[in-house]
Chain A
Amino acid sequence: MYNASKLAFAALALVLTGVISAQGQVNGSILATAQVQTPITVSGTQNLSFGNVFPGVAKAVAYTDAANAGKFSVAGQASTPVTYSFTLPTNLTSGGNNLPIGSWLGYENTSNSTSGGSGITPSAAPTSSTLSGSGALFFFVGATVTPPANQAAGSYTGTVTLTVSY
């Protein structure tokens, strides 16, 4: 009988412990989920090249100039709006010498062509566009350099940057 009593107490203890444990604390979980789309990549595919420039003679490169216009290609999430802007130099430089550059003109297109798209003003504030159905966008840039008559001879360079974001 003594053993039976101990067994009963043990059973009671287990029952109470189980009840308290089951009612005291519980956990549940869910997931956080996201589908990250394709990040944007921007590639400069061709330099804006003025070739030989003579002092006192302005020289223009049109954005339609297949060989010399600056070109960028953009890749990202298909059919998604983006915002773009250019950072443009005011001079090309060679050591301490400056060669003024201005009169920027450009073109954007969802195909790699200067027809069927839209003319743009690269110096404008950030502008909206939309990636193509395959997630592509192309930019073409032309400009004019205006060397003064006393322009020092040399090789002049500047950096044109295109920034694109969703």
Chain B
Amino acid sequence: MRLLSYALALTALTVPPLSAQRPITVAGVRSLSFGAVLPGVPTVVPRTSAANAGQFDVTGPHDSQAALTFTLPVVMTGPAGATLPLLFGGSDAGYSQSQSIGSQIGFDPKQPFVITFSQNGRGSVFLGGTAQPVPTQRAGSYTATITLTVVSLP
């Protein structure tokens, strides 16, 4: 009975502060869309493109820190397994505490990046990139999956 009491007391001490915080979440909001691409012509999507940049919304405990890590594809895959090379530059990702695409801190999506959640515990991550089709690129639809991992930091 004493052990049970300790357990309940520990639970009472531990859970309420955690449940009062916004949990860490990440949601894919918008695809990184290159639109119509001409063979042999690189197509660049800036991370500031409201229509075409990729977007993730993240939440976490206010004022806490978290590490962002992308899993980036090197190609998009299209018809009959054809591949379309993708490039990500050193400032192709951006983080906005205010969730405004016009107010970002740029970072390298190939490297982990530490963010600080705002007072309201929300933020947005934006991603641009470059599609580099070869002159003989097969026509059709190409896709790839981009994953963002968010790890809370102590």
**Structural contact, B131 and A9, CB atoms closer than 8 A:** no
Provide 7 A-B residue pairs closer than 8 Å at the C-beta atoms, listed in order of the A residue. Answer: A22-B24, A25-B24, A28-B28, A30-B146, A32-B129, A34-B33, A37-B36
**Structural contact, B152 and A24, CB atoms closer than 8 A:** yes
**Structural contact, A30 and B31, CB atoms closer than 8 A:** yes
Q: Counting CB contacts under 8 A, is A33 at the interface?
A: yes
The distance in angstroms between the C-alpha atoms of A32 and B15, with both chains bound, is 39
Which residues in A have their C-beta under 8 angstroms from that of B21? Answer: 23
Which residues in A have their C-beta under 8 angstroms from that of B54? Answer: 30, 32
Query: A residues touching B (Cβ–Cβ < 8 Å)?
Result: 1, 4-5, 8-9, 11-12, 15-16, 19, 22-40, 77, 80, 165-166
Q: Counting CB contacts under 8 A, is B50 at the interface?
A: no
The distance in angstroms between the C-alpha atoms of A32 and B85, with both chains bound, is 11
Q: Counting CB contacts under 8 A, is B27 at the interface?
A: yes
**Structural contact, A39 and B137, CB atoms closer than 8 A:** yes
The closest CB in chain A to the CB of B32 belongs to A32
**Structural contact, B55 and A9, CB atoms closer than 8 A:** no
Name which of A28, A38, A77 has the most chain B CB atoms within 10 A of its CB. A28
Q: Counting CB contacts under 8 A, is B80 at the interface?
A: no
B35 to chain A, nearest CB (A): 7
**Structural contact, A4 and B4, CB atoms closer than 8 A:** yes
Query: B residues touching A (Cβ–Cβ < 8 Å)?
Result: 1-4, 7-8, 10-11, 14-15, 18, 21, 23-41, 43, 54-56, 58, 61, 73, 76, 78, 84, 86, 127, 129, 131, 133, 135-152
The distance in angstroms between the C-alpha atoms of A36 and B8, with both chains bound, is 60
Out of B1, B38, B137, B141, name the residue touching A33 (CB < 8 Å).
B141
The distance in angstroms between the C-alpha atoms of A111 and B130, with both chains bound, is 35
A51 to chain B, nearest CB (A): 35
Give the 3 A-B CB pairs with smallest separation, nearest first: A28-B26, A5-B3, A30-B28
**Structural contact, B18 and A23, CB atoms closer than 8 A:** yes
Which residues in A have their C-beta under 8 angstroms from that of B24? Answer: 22-26
The distance in angstroms between the C-alpha atoms of A40 and B23, with both chains bound, is 51
The distance in angstroms between the C-alpha atoms of A16 and B73, with both chains bound, is 35
Which residues in A have their C-beta under 8 angstroms from that of B28? Answer: 28-30
The distance in angstroms between the C-alpha atoms of A166 and B146, with both chains bound, is 29
**Structural contact, B147 and A28, CB atoms closer than 8 A:** yes
The distance in angstroms between the C-alpha atoms of A4 and B2, with both chains bound, is 11
Q: Answer whether A25 and B55 are a contact pair too, CB < 8 Å, given A32-B76, A33-B141.
A: no
The closest CB in chain A to the CB of B64 belongs to A23
Which residues in B have their C-beta under 8 angstroms from that of A165? Answer: 40, 135
**Structural contact, A39 and B4, CB atoms closer than 8 A:** no
